[in-house]
Structure 1
Amino acid sequence: MKLEKILDKLGSIEKNSFIKIIDNIISKNPKNGKVIDKILSSTDKGLKSVDNQNISTIFSLTANEFQEHIKCEFQEISSQLDILIDIIIRDGNCIIKQDWFSRLYETEIKQLKNRIKDLNADFENDKSELSASRKRDYKIYKSCLYTAYHNDIVNNRDAKITADELSIILTLSKELGLSQEEIKLINYSILPIKKLDVQEVIKSLKNIGVIFYSNKENTIYVADEMVRILRKIRKKEVAEKFFRRTLKLLREPIINQIAKEHNIDRKLSNSQKIEKLIKEGLSFTNLLAEGIHKTDSNLTERKKSLNELCEKGLQIDNLKGSTIEEKINSLIEHFENVERDEKVGISLDGFEKLLTELNLSLPNLNNAIRTQFEFQEEFVLKADFLLDYNIKPRDILDLIEKKDSTKFIKDNGVKQRGDDTLNILEHYKDVDNLYLENYENVAYRNLNLLKDNGITVKESELGIKFEDLTKIIFTGLGFNVDESLKNQLNTKKDMMDILLNLDNQEIIIIECKTSKERGYNKFSSVSRQLKSYQNLALKNNLRIVKILLIAPEFSDDFVTDCEMDTEMNLSLITAATLSNIFEAFKTSKYPTFPHVLFRDIVINEDRIIKALSK
């Protein structure tokens, strides 16, 4: 669930710890301090009086500083912060009832203790499957950690690991190729481990700002934006669902090779081994750079394997970068963009229909999904419910075994040739709604995200598509999109995109601009264009009530130039704002959108949505 949505659900006391931390970061002159000051300048009461949307924006601007704040907390070695964070960043654990969190925490401690016993037994047993080289790696790390922890006791001080010691230990673990889970097991074989009181655990997590706790609902909330920061701290470069998607494409001998390296039982089924590998907290970068290749393969062969995995397996073309490292970084960035994107890959109606028919065809799937994502609820195959956890159609399909996928395809008349997952997504795609749900991605000309969301379109068609979608939105807002009058006015030289006929010789002119670049910044050229449209309309005795310019976003300079213009009644509206206004209008009492609300220079989404809800 997005941070803004969580903040909307909570009272001021429940947000207090988080706000204090952000306030403290702001007071220390963060990197984006000037941008933050500009946001705060509208109020003289500080961050507490800022709306939730701007708090969310400020958090994104202080993400790096917040990350450093959390890293400092790891020096308190008795906090079990690594255990707790590993629980709350798992897919499906971003919204947890207190009693369920207590159960997950208790289970985690029990499993950890059992695995520590097994690991210690492997150290002593000459016949264990642990290779001699791996035992050596474990012993080196364990000896260094033991010294870092116990040298304080020897010197009659409280045992702790300093920041300098921690940085050396982390470097050592990286060079030895240890997974996060292996590190955790060795750490807690030395550090004392005991189950803490769940109320104290929740309080400590809330005090450092990583969770919110609703007293009324007895529920823990972890914002999607926070999960991404916590994953970086735990060196988990991608979400579990993307790791799974990648691992499922590998042949079983390669999975066995990786499993052997990390002391995972190769007798398990392939799916079980994949789940164990995901929970190990392996480095995604190391896996793709080293783990999936034969030990004697050269650089060219490794590049070829990686390209094939991305292009043929993950269906991602033209990854940036010439080196393996650059390509892997591009893939990680791609997965981050997919995760941030709120679109689901098929329409919401399509997702709901898919889940209904999956439940009919595969009656055991509901329990399988519950187990996989550790859900407390009984029935979980509901679109709105899953999307609150940022779980999308592709993530569900990735969990279905091949035989079940084949059965579902036959039961529901899905195309059988080609990739099963892509065929199912295509079958449940509602193209019109899907394009509207991806309106902002069309505006940004983001072909990769469009493709991931089930839309195949040529880049050359995106400008026209954006214009057509804008027409659909304004028609849905109750306006008369008058193509006939527009065509009468247009000349070969001056061709406006959209004209809204308000009757009585009154019109609204709309210009649509797509842009790959962040911050649309071409005011001089677009203003000449709009003034020519204005002159066309005035020559035909039409009164221009408003001119609207729609683009993915606008630079500060563009907004300033627009504010200084005295010749046009021009307002700027971002694609995301228009889309959100359209959604709010659907549930409002108005038969036609009251165009008088378009009165700002940059259209204020919050103000309009509040007005529509009255």
Structure 2
Amino acid sequence: MKLEKILDKLGSIEKNSFIKIIDNIIAKNPKNGKEIDKILSSSDKGLKSVDNQNISNIFALTESEFQEHIKCEFQEITSQLDILIDIIIRDGNCIMKQDWFSRLYESEIKHLKTRIKGLNADFDNDKSELSAERKRDYKIYKSCLHTAYHNDVENNREAKITSDELSIILTLSKQLGLSQEEVKLINYSILPIKKIDVQEVIKGLKNIGVIFFSNKENTIYVADEMVRMLRKIREKEVAEKFYRRTLKLLREPIINQIGRDHNIDRNLTYAQKIEKIIKEGVSFTSLLLEDIYKQGSTLTEKKKTLNELCEKGLNISNLKGSTLDDKISSLIEYFDNIERDEKVGISLDGFDKLLTELNESLPKLNKCIKDQFELQDEFVLKADFLLDYNIKPRDILDLIIKKDLTKFIKDNGIKQRGDDILNILEHYKDVENLYLENFENVAYRNLNLLKENGITVKESELGLKFEDLTKVIFKSLGFNVDDAFKNNLNTKKDMMDILLNLDNNEIIIVECKTSKERGYNKFSSVSRQLKSYQNLALKNNLRIVKILLVAPEFSDDFVTDCEMDTEMNLSLITASTLSNISEAFKTSKYNEFPHVLFRDIVINEERILKALSK
């Protein structure tokens, strides 16, 4: 869930710790201080009185300083922060009830203790599956950590690891190629590990600003933006779902090779080994630099393998970068952009339909998704629910084994030639709803974003498409979009876009304008056009209740000119406002939108949404 949406759900006391940290960062002149000051200049009372959207914007501007603040907390090595952060950054753990989080925490501590016993046994057992080389690496790291922790005791000081010692230890773990899970196991084989009261854990995480806790709902929230930041701190370059997507493209011998390097049981199934590699925290970069290639592969062969993996497996053509490191960075950036993108790839209705039919065809899938993402609800195959956890259609399909995918495709008459997952996504695209979700992009004539979101359209068609979509929205608001009446009125010279027939000779005229340029600023030409429509209606003894102009946005000059016009009852409405009103109307008590709410010069979205929610 996005930070702004979480902040909207919480009271001021529940946001307090987070706001206080950002306030402290601002007081120390952060690198983006000028941009932050511009946002704060509109508020006399500082950050606490800024709206949630701008708090989210300020957090983005202070990201590097916030990251350093959290890194400092890691110096308290006994805080278990690594254990706790590894729990809350897992896919599906961004929203948790307190008791569910408590269960996950207890389970993690118990699991760690069991594995530490196993690791210690491996140290003492000459016949363990650990290779001599790996055992040597573990012993080197463990000895250095032991010295760093216990040298204080010898000097009659409290046992702890200083920031200098910690940076050396981290460098050593990287040079030895240890996964984060291996580091964690060795750390807690030396440092005392004990279960902390869950209330104290939540309080600690809230105080350092990484979680929010709603007392009313007894629920922990971790913002999507915070999850990405915490992943960087834990050096997990991509989300688990993208790691899984990449690993599933590798043959089992390669997966076995990775497992052997990181002490993973090779008797597990292929799918279990993949999950284990992800949970072990094996670096995605080091995996693609070294681990996925045949022994003795040349640099040229490695580049070719990676290019094929991206082009044929991940459907990414022309991966940027000339060196292997550059290509891997480009792939990480690609996954990061997908995760940040709020678009689902198919329409929301299409996603719901996909989930419904998946549940019918594969009845065990609900439990599989629930377990995979550690979700608390019993039934989880709901589009709105999954999107709050940033789980999208592709993430669900990635978890389904080939045999089940084939069954689902046959059950639902989906195209069988080509890539199964892409065929499924195409089948459930639901073009009209996808266009409606991209209504603002159509208004702005943004062909690139439309293409990225799965819509292919000619630029010459965008004006008419915007008009058609606006009609669909007004119909959904309960209006009578009367094309027959409009066509009878229109002349060759005067052709209004949309006519809403309110009966009793009363109408609303709607004009639609698309624009690539920011700030629609052509009042003189559009006003002449609208006045001619007005005269046409008046000649036919019609009462014009309202004239609405729909455009992507309006310049200040345009709004001023509109305010000064005394001849038309004209209101301006942006595409995003109309779209948001349509969404709010779906859950309102009204069967028909009360058009009296269209009374501002520039339609006030917030006021209308409040009126619809009553």
TM range (shorter): 0.7 to 0.9
Matched with 2:539 is none
Matched with 2:76 is 76
Aligned 8 A contact 2:319 2:331 in 1: yes
In structure 2, relative to structure 1, the CA distance for the partners of 1:262 and 1:591 (3 Å cut) is same
Note the C-alpha offset of 1:14: 1.8
Aligned 8 A contact 2:571 2:600 in 1: yes
Q: How does 1:131-170 map to 2 (within 5 A)?
A: 131-170=131-170
Aligned residues: 591
- Looking at structure 2, the residues matched to 55 and 379 of structure 1 have their Cα atoms a distance apart, in angstroms, of 34
Match of 1:276, SS? helix
Matched with 2:208 is 208
In structure 2, relative to structure 1, the CA distance for the partners of 1:97 and 1:312 (3 Å cut) is same
Note the C-alpha offset of 1:162: 2.3
- Greater shift after overlay, 129-138 or 69-78? 129-138
The code of the aligned residue for 1:229 comes to: M
The code of the aligned residue for 1:61 comes to: L
- Looking at structure 1, the residues matched to 304 and 221 of structure 2 have their Cα atoms a distance apart, in angstroms, of 42
The code of the aligned residue for 2:552 comes to: I
1:225-282 CA-partner distances (Å, limit 9, x unpaired): 2111111111111111111111111111221121111111122111001100111112
Matched with 2:303 is 303
In structure 2, relative to structure 1, the CA distance for the partners of 1:260 and 1:559 (3 Å cut) is farther
Matched with 1:239 is 239
Aligned 8 A contact 2:94 2:223 in 1: yes
1:105-142 CA-partner distances (Å, limit 9, x unpaired): 11101111111222222233333332233233323322
In structure 2, relative to structure 1, the CA distance for the partners of 1:612 and 1:121 (3 Å cut) is same
- Looking at structure 2, the residues matched to 150 and 301 of structure 1 have their Cα atoms a distance apart, in angstroms, of 47
- Looking at structure 1, the residues matched to 509 and 59 of structure 2 have their Cα atoms a distance apart, in angstroms, of 41
- Greater shift after overlay, 283-292 or 191-200? 283-292
Q: How does 1:51-200 map to 2 (within 5 A)?
A: 51-200=51-200
Q: How does 1:116-515 map to 2 (within 5 A)?
A: 116-440=116-440, 455-457=454-456, 463=462, 469=469, 472-473=472-473, 476=476, 478=479, 488=492, 509-514=511-516
In structure 2, relative to structure 1, the CA distance for the partners of 1:243 and 1:296 (3 Å cut) is same
Aligned 8 A contact 2:512 2:551 in 1: yes
- Looking at structure 2, the residues matched to 462 and 34 of structure 1 have their Cα atoms a distance apart, in angstroms, of 42
In structure 2, relative to structure 1, the CA distance for the partners of 1:447 and 1:76 (3 Å cut) is farther
Aligned 8 A contact 1:531 1:568 in 2: no
Aligned 8 A contact 1:89 1:227 in 2: yes
In structure 2, relative to structure 1, the CA distance for the partners of 1:210 and 1:452 (3 Å cut) is same
Matched with 2:540 is none
In structure 2, relative to structure 1, the CA distance for the partners of 1:94 and 1:533 (3 Å cut) is same
- Greater shift after overlay, 11-20 or 603-612? 603-612
Match of 1:457, SS? coil
Note the C-alpha offset of 1:46: 2.6
Q: How does 1:537-576 map to 2 (within 5 A)?
A: 549-550=551-552, 576=576
Match of 2:415, SS? coil
1:205-231 CA-partner distances (Å, limit 9, x unpaired): 111111111222222111222111111
- Looking at structure 1, the residues matched to 403 and 269 of structure 2 have their Cα atoms a distance apart, in angstroms, of 14
- Looking at structure 2, the residues matched to 413 and 330 of structure 1 have their Cα atoms a distance apart, in angstroms, of 36
In structure 2, relative to structure 1, the CA distance for the partners of 1:382 and 1:327 (3 Å cut) is same
Match of 2:386, SS? helix
Match of 1:6, SS? helix
Note the C-alpha offset of 1:308: 1.9
The code of the aligned residue for 1:83 comes to: I
- Greater shift after overlay, 88-97 or 118-127? 118-127
- Looking at structure 2, the residues matched to 461 and 307 of structure 1 have their Cα atoms a distance apart, in angstroms, of 36
- Looking at structure 2, the residues matched to 469 and 540 of structure 1 have their Cα atoms a distance apart, in angstroms, of 21
The code of the aligned residue for 1:513 comes to: S
Aligned 8 A contact 2:499 2:507 in 1: no
The code of the aligned residue for 2:436 comes to: L
1:530-575 CA-partner distances (Å, limit 9, x unpaired): 6444455567876996765416xxxxxx967778989998999776
Give me the CA root mean square deviation: 3.5
Aligned 8 A contact 2:508 2:548 in 1: no
Aligned 8 A contact 2:87 2:93 in 1: yes
The code of the aligned residue for 1:63 comes to: E
Match of 2:552, SS? strand
Note the C-alpha offset of 1:411: 2.4
- Looking at structure 1, the residues matched to 480 and 413 of structure 2 have their Cα atoms a distance apart, in angstroms, of 39
In structure 2, relative to structure 1, the CA distance for the partners of 1:479 and 1:115 (3 Å cut) is same
Aligned 8 A contact 1:550 1:572 in 2: no
1:432-490 CA-partner distances (Å, limit 9, x unpaired): 1122223456678888876675x252675785556654564466555969896999559
Q: Structure 1: any 5+ residue segments left out of the alignment?
A: 515-519, 552-557
The code of the aligned residue for 2:92 comes to: G
Aligned 8 A contact 1:443 1:513 in 2: yes
Aligned 8 A contact 1:8 1:52 in 2: yes
Match of 1:435, SS? helix
In structure 2, relative to structure 1, the CA distance for the partners of 1:448 and 1:336 (3 Å cut) is farther
Q: Percent same amino acid among aligned pairs?
A: 73
Aligned 8 A contact 1:348 1:383 in 2: yes
Matched with 1:591 is 593
The code of the aligned residue for 1:91 comes to: D
In structure 2, relative to structure 1, the CA distance for the partners of 1:190 and 1:440 (3 Å cut) is farther
- Looking at structure 1, the residues matched to 448 and 244 of structure 2 have their Cα atoms a distance apart, in angstroms, of 20
Note the C-alpha offset of 1:372: 1.1
In structure 2, relative to structure 1, the CA distance for the partners of 1:329 and 1:380 (3 Å cut) is same
- Looking at structure 1, the residues matched to 460 and 302 of structure 2 have their Cα atoms a distance apart, in angstroms, of 36
Match of 2:258, SS? helix
- Looking at structure 2, the residues matched to 287 and 444 of structure 1 have their Cα atoms a distance apart, in angstroms, of 42
Match of 1:512, SS? coil
Match of 1:220, SS? strand
- Looking at structure 2, the residues matched to 574 and 35 of structure 1 have their Cα atoms a distance apart, in angstroms, of 26
In structure 2, relative to structure 1, the CA distance for the partners of 1:598 and 1:175 (3 Å cut) is farther
Aligned 8 A contact 2:498 2:509 in 1: yes
Aligned 8 A contact 1:440 1:575 in 2: yes
Aligned 8 A contact 1:585 1:593 in 2: no
- Looking at structure 1, the residues matched to 349 and 456 of structure 2 have their Cα atoms a distance apart, in angstroms, of 22
- Looking at structure 1, the residues matched to 171 and 61 of structure 2 have their Cα atoms a distance apart, in angstroms, of 28
Aligned 8 A contact 2:494 2:532 in 1: no
- Looking at structure 2, the residues matched to 174 and 583 of structure 1 have their Cα atoms a distance apart, in angstroms, of 49
Q: Structure 2: any 5+ residue segments left out of the alignment?
A: 536-543
In structure 2, relative to structure 1, the CA distance for the partners of 1:149 and 1:488 (3 Å cut) is farther
Matched with 1:554 is none
- Greater shift after overlay, 502-511 or 304-313? 502-511
Matched with 2:610 is 610
Aligned 8 A contact 1:362 1:408 in 2: yes
Match of 1:96, SS? strand
- Looking at structure 2, the residues matched to 397 and 168 of structure 1 have their Cα atoms a distance apart, in angstroms, of 42
Note the C-alpha offset of 1:417: 2.0
Larger Rg: 2
- Looking at structure 1, the residues matched to 440 and 534 of structure 2 have their Cα atoms a distance apart, in angstroms, of 35
In structure 2, relative to structure 1, the CA distance for the partners of 1:487 and 1:251 (3 Å cut) is farther
